[in-house]
Amino acid sequence: MSLSPVKRLILETMWMLDKPARAAEIAKEVGLGFPPVMMHIIGLARMGYVETPEKGYYVITREGKSALGFPEVSGEKAQRILTYLPIEKSFHFYADIGKPLNVYAASLQDFCDKILKVDVGSVEFHVHRGDFEAWFMGLSDVELARKTLLIKEQKASGEELRNKLYEIVKNRCEELAKMSQHAVISNTSMQL
């Protein structure tokens, strides 16, 4: 089923928030009034794209993510995304073209740690060039690449940019770790 532009915007906003949120918070983020946003949220819930984990809060479902075009991530794929990489596939931070910082991230978790330590100018340099998006796509993490693109489109800069990037990567690492752990538990149960 195709989404109207407004429903897509609401769903993408919920996906970016990455936590249960009140309709008023979603409306504020979207930049529309509460009544029409609430009406669209109800419609999205009927479509199975949104659910209510607790009264008054809404969150995007797996079906909602699929409607936005994100492939489902299995536990095994989550493990691959989180795995340590050889140095040639690691993310190498630069201050500018031809100016390496001699700092690299060998995994998504390592990236999360390093993003807080590298010069904010390097973060801006890589975000504006699309380098982080490309590396996340190389890890096969379409969702994280898309969130990074949306942050770039928000035109954040400085510490605000660093903090937004850190939060989405940290949350994604936690989400993937849960998926990965679930896969390990499922595999262990099947072997017993």
- Structural domains in the chain plus CATH codes: 5-67 (1.10.10.10), 75-188 (no CATH)
Query: Residue 134 pLDDT more than 50?
Result: yes
For residue 38, what are the CA distances in angstroms to 8, 42, 48, 66, 101? Answer: 14, 6, 15, 21, 47
Q: What's 166's DSSP letter?
A: H
Q: In the prediction, which pLDDT does 18 show?
A: 81
Q: What are phi and psi of 103, to 5 degrees?
A: -125, 130
Q: What is the mean pLDDT of residues 11-23?
A: 89
Distance CA 189, CA 4 (A): 43
Assign 188 a pLDDT band (cuts: 50, 70, 90): very low
Q: What is the mean pLDDT of residues 114-133?
A: 96
Q: In the prediction, which pLDDT does 184 show?
A: 52
Q: In the prediction, which pLDDT does 148 show?
A: 92
**94: helix, coil or strand?**
strand
Torsion sign, CA atoms 45, 149, 71, 87:
negative
At 121, list the tokens.
């100018």
Q: What is the mean pLDDT of the chain?
A: 89
For the CA atoms of the chain, what is the radius of gyration? 18
Query: Residue 53 pLDDT more than 70?
Result: yes
Query: Residue 98 pLDDT more than 60?
Result: yes
Mention every residue, 6+ apart, whose C-beta is less than 8 A from residue 2: none
Q: What is the mean pLDDT of residues 37-59?
A: 94
Distance CA 183, CA 153 (A): 34
Distance CA 187, CA 181 (A): 10
Query: Residue 191 pLDDT more than 70?
Result: no
At 85, list the tokens.
């990489």
Assign 189 a pLDDT band (cuts: 50, 70, 90): very low
Q: Which residues make beta-bridge pairs with 93?
A: 103
What is the tens place of the pLDDT at every residue in 158-178? Answer: 999 999 999 999 999 998 998
What is the tens place of the pLDDT at every residue in 67-83? Answer: 988 878 888 888 999 99
Q: In the prediction, which pLDDT does 19 show?
A: 86
